[in-house]
Structure 1
Amino acid sequence: MSYDLSVYAPAPLSFEGLLALVRSAAGLDVDGSPSSDAQSLTVVRGARRAYCFTIDGPFRVEPEDVPEEVTASVIGAKALYQVLVEGSEEPSIPHAVKFARKLAKATGGALLDEQTDEVWPKGNRVARPREAARPTELVTVNFYTLTAELPEDLPRNYLALARKYLPEALPTRFGTYEPHQGKLDRDGDQAFTDMWLENPNSILFFKCEYPIARGSMNGPQRNRSVGRTSLHLDNAALADPGWLDGLRRFFVAFALESKSFFASVEVLRNYEWGSRSYEQRPGAEDEIWPIHIGEWKGFVPYPQSWTWFGPEQIKIVSPYLTGRREQHGDHLLHVLAEKPIDRDQLAGLLPDPTRPWIPQELATPYGP
C-alpha cells in the first residue's frame, strides 16, 4: 500500500529547482546522486537518512485527463508530479503532504490527495479586479444550433464541459427572469436542465464567476429554426495562456456536443468592467448576429477571431478563409487570430483589408 499525492502544475520546475525545493525543507534530502533526466527521486529524512517518500515525474498531462476538482483550482495544468509514501511508513505521510503543498505553491499548481479527493489550495482561479470600474473589451462567444437538432441533454453537456475545461462558465444563479430563481450549488445540475426543458419558449439566463459575466441558452422552442447559447466575458482574462487554452477547448467541445452548425468568438471595444459585470461606454460596439427572430440570415459582414462551421457552411465559406484551419470530423474550426482581437485588427490580417471577408450577398442584412 502507499499514500498517494498528485500535484498538477501549469509547468514543471527545473531538475535543479526540484532538488532545491526538497532540500529547503528541514531534514529532507535526496538519496544518492540522481541524474538530471531522472523520473523518480527518493527523499530521505534526518541524520539517519531514512526513507521518507518518493517523487515521480514530472509527467506531461493533457487537459482532458486533469480531474475536474483540480481544474477548478488551477489554470492550464500540463505537468503532473506524484508524491508517494510507499509501504507502511505512516510517520512519513505528514512530511509528504507538507512537501506536496510546497511543490504546488512553487509551481502555481494544485495538490490532490488521492485518498480523500481533497484539493489544495481552493479558491477562484481568476482574481476579480479590485478597481471599482476599468475600461476593457468584451468577448462574446456564441453557438448556433438548428432547433430540430438540439440535444435534450444540452444543459447537462454544458455543465460537464464547463467543469472539465472552463469552471468559470458554470452558472452560479440561473432563471428565465430577474431575480434568477435557481442556484446550482443549492439545487443541483438537474434543476438547471429541468428549467430549460420546462420553459421551451424562453431563454434560460445565468450568471457566472469572473471573468465570465453571464450566459444564456435558448429553450428547445419549435417555433424558431435556430437556437443560440452565449457567454460574455472580460477580455483581460485571455492574457493568461492557460485560460485562453481552456476557452478554446471548451469552444470546440461544446460546439460538437451542441451540434452547432456555426459558432463564433469576437471582441467588442469600449466597455467597462465594474465590481460585478460590464457596462457599455460611449461608442461601445454592438454585436451583429447571424440570426434574426430565430431565423438564419447570413454571416456577419466583418471577420471574427474564431469561427466554427458545419458541413454546409464549410462549402460556402471555404474559398474565403485565410486563417488556420482545424478539422473536427465534418466540422471546421477557423482561427484568424490565436488570441481574439477586434474586428479592425482582424481586417488587417486579410489579403485585402479594404474588402469584406465574404461577398456581400452571404452576409446578414441586419445591422446592430
Structure 2
Amino acid sequence: MGEIAGLAIDDSGQSLTVVRGVRRRYSFTVDGPDRVGAEDVPVEVTGIVLGVRYLYSVLVEGSTVKSRTIVRPSRNTDVAKVDLEWCCLREHVPADAPALIISAAERHLPEALPRRFGEYEPFQGKYSEAGMEGFGQAWREATSWLFFSGSGLCLGGALSGGPGEQYPDRYWSMSLTLLADPLREAPWRDAVRDLFTTLADTLGAFYASAECIRDSTEIALCTLRFPEGWLGLRPAPTWWSWFGSPYASVADLLPATGRRPTVNGVLFEATTEPRPRDQTEPLSRWLPANLFARIGPKPGHVQPLPLIRAAVVPDELS
C-alpha cells in the first residue's frame, strides 16, 4: 500500500494504519492476518468470496468483492465434468440429511444449493421460496429420487428419497455434477474438497468418489448400489476417493502423498487437478483387485455401462 499514490503506512501502532496526503491524515486501519477455518467464515462471505483462509479486519467504505463468478457454457456445449457421489447405508443416514446438505453447501459451496428441485422436470420446487424446510419436506415425501439444479459451476445433483420413497432398498446415495474447468484453480478445488469431505463425514457415508468425465463420448458407469446388495468400489480410475468404515482400513495401502484423514474416514487424491480416466492411475494398483466391481459386457454400447459385483464385499455391505 505504500506504493499507491497518496497513501502511506504508519506502523507506529499494533495495527497497520494507512494515512494519506502530505499531512498524513488518518485513512483506515488493517488488522491481521488471522488464519481461519471454513467453519469460522460467515456464510454471507462464503457466498461472494472464494477460498477464504485468512481474516483481515479493514475499515473502508465503498468497497465490493466478488470472486465466485464463472462463465457457464451454453446448455448444448460438450464439456468435461466431475461427478461426485456419496454412498451410505440407509440406516446410517441422519433424519436431518437435507439440513446437513444445505448447511455444508452454504458453508463451502453455495453454488451447490438446490436452486430448483423435484422428482421430475420441470422442477416445481424453488429454494428461494421454499427454503431449507421446503427442500427437506420434498425429500421426506419423495417417492423416488429428488433431483435439483445448482448454479455457477454446479450443474445439479440428486439424492435418494427419504422415508416416503416408494421402493427403498438398504442403500442411499447422493450425487453432484460440476464443471471440470473451474476445478483447475486451487480455490475452487479447496471449496469442493471441503464440501466433499464434510458430506462424507456427516451423512454417514462408507464410500465417496469424484470422477472426471472428459465429454459425452466417454460412457458413464451405472450406479454402484442395487437392491440386492453393494457392487464394490468403483472400477474406473477416480480423481478423489473417500473411504469410511469398513473400507477405511485398506486405505492405508494407498500412497501417503495423496492420503489424509478426515473426521470419519480417509481421503485420497490421485492427482492435483481433475484428469480423465485414461490419465489417472487406477486404485487397483495399490488396493486388492477383488474389492472392485467389474465392468460388464456392453452389447450395443449400453450406457451406462453395466457393472458386475466385486468378488469380495465387506460383510457389513453384503
> Which TM bucket (shorter chain)?
0.7 to 0.9
Amino acid at match of 2:160: N
Q: Hey, what does 2:261 align to over in structure 1?
A: 327
1:126 aligns with 2:69: yes
**Given the alignment, which residue of 87, 93, 101 partners 1:158?**
101
Secondary structure at the residue paired with 1:19? coil
TM-score for the superposition, normalised by structure 2:
0.82
Correspondence 1:112-261 to 2 at 5 A: 120-121=64-65, 125-129=68-72, 134-199=77-142, 201-220=143-162, 221=165, 223-261=168-206
Share of identical aligned residues, percent? 35
Amino acid at match of 2:124: Q
Secondary structure at the residue paired with 2:255? coil
Secondary structure at the residue paired with 2:3? helix
State the 1:174 CA deviation. 0.6
State the 1:244 CA deviation. 0.4
Please tell me whether the aligned partners of residues 302 and 357 of structure 1 are also in contact (alpha carbons under 8 angstroms).
no
1:364 aligns with 2:279: no
Unaligned ranges ≥5, structure 1:
1-17, 85-95, 102-119, 271-279
Q: How far apart, CA to CA, are the structure 2 residues paired with 1:214 and 1:128?
A: 16
Q: How far apart, CA to CA, are the structure 2 residues paired with 1:159 and 1:245?
A: 18
249-258 vs 72-81, which moves further = 72-81
152 and 366 in structure 1: CA distance in 2 versus 1, 3 angstrom threshold: farther
Q: Across the two proteins, how many residue pairs are aligned to each other?
A: 293
Amino acid at match of 2:9: V
**Given the alignment, which residue of 3, 11, 31 partners 1:56?**
31
RMSD between aligned alpha carbons?
Answer: 2.7
State the 1:328 CA deviation. 2.5
Q: How far apart, CA to CA, are the structure 2 residues paired with 1:161 and 1:73?
A: 16
Secondary structure at the residue paired with 1:152? coil
Unaligned ranges ≥5, structure 2:
297-304, 306-318
Which is higher, the Rg of structure 1 or of structure 2?
Answer: 1
Q: How far apart, CA to CA, are the structure 2 residues paired with 1:356 and 1:45?
A: 62
TM-score for the superposition, normalised by structure 1:
0.72
312 and 53 in structure 1: CA distance in 2 versus 1, 3 angstrom threshold: same
Amino acid at match of 1:343: R
81 and 182 in structure 1: CA distance in 2 versus 1, 3 angstrom threshold: same
1:295 aligns with 2:229: yes
